[in-house]
Amino acid sequence: MKKSFKLAILAIAAITMLAGCSSEKTAIKNENPVQAKVEDQTATPEAGKVSEKEPVVPEEKVEDIWTYYNDTTWSDDFNGIISTIEKVVVSDKVPKDGNKDDPTASAVGVVMKIENTTENIYTTYPDQAELVTSTGEQISADMFYSDHLGGELEEGVIKQGNVIFSLQRGHAADIKWIKMKWYVTEGDGMQMDAKRKEYSVKLELK
């Protein structure tokens, strides 16, 4: 993913499918983090002196606020533009209005990958997608917290990241399904006769 969930996932927060402050995008957590090696930097003691090791202070563990639906996947090939939904995440512990001391907001995150396998230019804006939920919401993607996946895709370009939707009411944990709507079009999207694919993808979470 481009930001490592930066999902995550808002001031919407700090997880990393998504931990962040009010000025950072939320990143979805890498579920298989690489463990860093810790080198023993104890120097050889000089004569008459006792060597001392600096105490190792463990890093504070950051709570992962997201619930992962890893089996909620989808993919489609439109004339060589491969659009993939890799997983969906939800949370009811997102910092409200960017305030990390008030983790009461709710959000849905969609982890996506868009790949242009052709030699032509295509245009798409999944980071401006619309989301419909089983709990009765119809909202647009939060462009501030979402990764930049939209615009023109030149040949061979791959974009991958999180599309974040800030819920306006209800709880993310209550959502049983979502429907995500966006499009892909040939060229820069300005030609009236350009081929275009409208997506309306419904995914069952529970």
- pLDDT tens for each residue of the chain, 206 residues long: 444 444 344 444 433 444 333 344 455 665 554 444 444 544 444 555 555 666 666 666 667 899 999 999 999 999 999 999 999 999 999 998 888 889 999 999 999 999 999 999 999 999 999 999 999 999 999 999 999 999 999 999 999 999 999 999 889 999 999 999 999 999 987 888 899 999 999 999 99
Residue burial 163-199, b: 16+ Cβ < 10 Å; e: rest:
bbbbbeeeebeebeebebbbbbbbeebeeeeeebbeb
Q: What is the largest CA-CA distance in the chain?
A: 85
Q: Which domains does the chain have, with CATH numbers?
A: 67-204 (2.60.40.4170)
Q: How many residues does the chain have?
A: 206
Beta carbons within 10 angstroms of residue 86's beta carbon: 19
- The pLDDT score that the predictor gives to residue 36 is 42
DSSP 11: T
- pLDDT, residue 190, reads 80
Give φ, ψ of 126 to 5 degrees. Answer: -65, -25
How wide is the angle at C-alpha 102 spanned by C-alphas 98 and 104, nearest 5°? 95
CA 30 to chain centre: 11
Kind plus residue range of the DSSP H or E element containing 85: strand 81-94
CB 13 within 8 A of CB 22: no
Give the pLDDT confidence score for residue 45 in this predicted structure: 47
Number of Cβ atoms within 10 Å of the Cβ of 142: 19
**Dihedral, CA atoms, 32, 108, 86, 150, nearest 10 degrees?**
-110
Distance CA(202)–CA(199), nearest Å, equals: 10
Dihedrals φ, ψ of 127, to 5°?
-80, 0
DSSP state at residue 154: -
pLDDT recorded at residue 89: 97
